[in-house]
Chain A
Amino acid sequence: MELKKAQKSFWKNGKEIKILDDVNISFEKNKFYLIIGESGAGKSTLINILGLLDKLDAGDLIISSKNVNNLNDKELSLMRLKEIGLIFQDYYLNPRLNAKDNILIATLINKDIKEQREELIEKKMAYLQILDRKNHYPHELSGGERQRVCIARALINEPNYILADEPTGALDEVNAKKVMEILKKLSENGKSVIMVTHDYRNCIYADEIYRLNHGKLVKENKNDFLKKYS
């Protein structure tokens, strides 16, 4: 996944606010990327762009050698399904569906795993230690369990890129640690994990740290950063 000369800005009260200003970055597999920035820096917009939910004003986004600017709606949907898994701070679980069915909805459009759906869901739930909660509804789950259901939903179609928007923002320290360990493990097992956060404590899990500030994405020295904030 690669951003080339990416530009994105908003207009607020007649003033242009630059979210991405000529950003160039490449995200590789087997790596955990942490993007930090203050509230309002545009971290969520960046995740939306990388997750193909928003578009760049200018520049290119290349995913698996395909420039997304050249893709039509159907191809974009297919790319979202096959390449991207999104994890949100607020989980966005369907309150009318139990944990298992919340994961199931992500598989209904994936013909490749149609026959193994049930098996794969149970495997993922077991891996994330929530199998015993499969028949529970979101309101019956703890914050950590809800986030793990959200992770299972993001992983079920085996995407190459995991995009996480403040995944620990609503969790206590113990659950936050569990989630970060899961994400770290995913990056070690071939996924590219890109996480945006304003919580510097998470930097110990990252392979690369970037700071988003006034539209510029600047790479931080991990060691210096760890010394300063851990």
Chain B
Amino acid sequence: MIIMAFKDLLMLYKKNRQFKQRQIFFLIIMVVILLLSSIIISLNDSIFNYINNLTRNSLDARTLSVFPAPSETDIEKLKENKHILSINKQSVTSFLVHSDKFEDIIIRPANSTMFNNLTNNSLICPKEFVPKYNMSEITKKDIINGKEIIDTNIKISLSKKANDIYNSYEKEFKIVDTYDNYKYMLDNNVCLTSYEDFNDIYNFYYPDSNSETYRLFVDDVKNIDEVSHLLDDFGYVSSPLLEVNYASIIFLLIITIVIFIIFTILIYILIKFNIKKELNKKEEEILLYKSMGYEKRDIIKIYTIEYLVLCLIALGITYFLSIIILIIINTIKSNYMSFKMFSIKYDFKEIIVLFVIGIIYPSIIIKQKIKKIIEKRKIIL
């Protein structure tokens, strides 16, 4: 059996290697292909991570609106269910209030099981606190470090009409803790308070309201359906505050997969076209190896190593450029708080996909093409 030693293979590569226009062209094509793939995968991942976070962690996705108002007995029975964290009377989700020490804050009720520091007259504010109404224009400079304002007493006020200082609601709160608002997909201006305090504000704002809407807070978004069925059994109608349209998500997922498959097929064709063109030019050289007694697999190795080195260089350049692009994007993104929840990362999956496109694809193509050349019955030498 004839086997070419790896040392000889490397030696032949070293002596035989070329880095001319054709190789540079191939390298550029590979870098462009790999970089495009990397960007597509990153964006795709980011969109799905965002949707995933939104559906799993958002407080609204875990909150059910219940109608009509449950009786006291039913509330007690419902509370026995392990997935139900709390049931509270609440008609609106949040209030925009003004504070004496900061600008505008959004107040919304939170569950004391999740935030155990949450007692009456207390607030839990974001770690990166931005007490402003309009969140679309905020930048990094507007951030207040949440830890610095812990134990601060603030007076909040709320008016039914603009500038109505006589009929405004006022109450003093103590900021007792901070929370990660990105984790719960909440804006940087949202402070959490207890249901009692929240209802106090609600009763001031809607003194004559006879709304009997209750909000039921579930431990995990995956248990929403189970709790909904339980409420059905009790004879109540329920609907989540944030309804996740899974059909749209699946549709989006299918579209992404289809686009990705088409994209990878196009990449395969492009790499194949390029390698085929190159190897066709080397047909005589390949057949010469055959005439000297080289086995098919040795000839494949000789040409695969030639391309693999180029592909590895292309992969290296792509990884480097991807990291640079990522740093630039994240630097720009970090200045705009509204993009904070949209994370663009570079993960292992991406490295694997790029490896498949950059190494496995060319190897398969080279193998197929060389086999085809070698197995030609008619050889014109």
Contacts and interface: CB of A to CB of B under 8 A. Distances in A.
Interface string B275-292: 000000000110111111
Contact of B2 (A55, A77, A94): A77
Which of B4, B17, B291, B298 has the largest number of chain A CB atoms within 10 A?
B291
B12 interface: yes
A77 B12 contact: no
Interface in A97-118: 97, 101, 105-106, 108-111
B16 A80 contact: no
A48 interface: yes
A98 B279 CA distance: 22
A108 B16 contact: no
Interface in B12-38: 12, 15-18
Contact of B291 (A44, A86, A110): A86
Contact of B16 (A55, A78, A97): A97
Nearest to B289: A105
B285 A94 contact: yes
Contacts of B18: 96
B293 interface: yes
Interface string B355-381: 000000000000000000000011111
What is the predominant secondary structure among interface residues of chain A facing chain B? mixed
A10 B378 CA distance: 10
A54 interface: yes
A74 interface: yes
Contacts of B233: none
A215 interface: no
A74 B381 contact: no
A7 interface: no
B3 interface: yes
B346 interface: no
Contacts, number: 82
B293 A81 contact: yes
Contacts of A97: 15-16
Contacts of B295: 73-74, 77, 109
A168 B293 CA distance: 24
A92 B2 contact: no
B3 A55 contact: no
A108 B379 CA distance: 23
Interface size class on chain B is: 20 to 34
B296 interface: yes
B294 A48 contact: no
A109 B4 contact: yes
B293 A108 contact: no
Contacts of A54: 377-379
Interface string B241-271: 0000000000000000000000000000000
B377 A96 contact: no
A109 B296 contact: no
A81 B292 contact: yes
B1 interface: yes
A88 interface: yes
Contact of B377 (A44, A55, A109, A165): A55
Which of A77, A80, A92, A110 has the largest number of chain B CB atoms within 10 A?
A77
A78 B2 contact: yes
Given A92-B284, A109-B2, A77 B377 contact: no
A94 to B, nearest CB: 6
B291 A165 contact: no
B293 A96 contact: no
B372 to A, nearest CB: 14
A86 B291 CA distance: 7
A48 B379 contact: yes
14 contacts: A44-B380, A48-B381, A53-B379, A53-B381, A74-B295, A77-B294, A78-B293, A81-B2, A84-B293, A92-B284, A96-B15, A106-B293, A109-B295, A111-B2
Interface of A: 10, 44, 48, 51, 53-55, 73-74, 77-82, 84, 86, 88, 92, 94, 96-97, 101, 105-106, 108-111, 153, 157, 165
What 5 pairs between A and B have smallest CB-CB spacing?
A81-B293, A80-B293, A108-B8, A109-B2, A77-B295
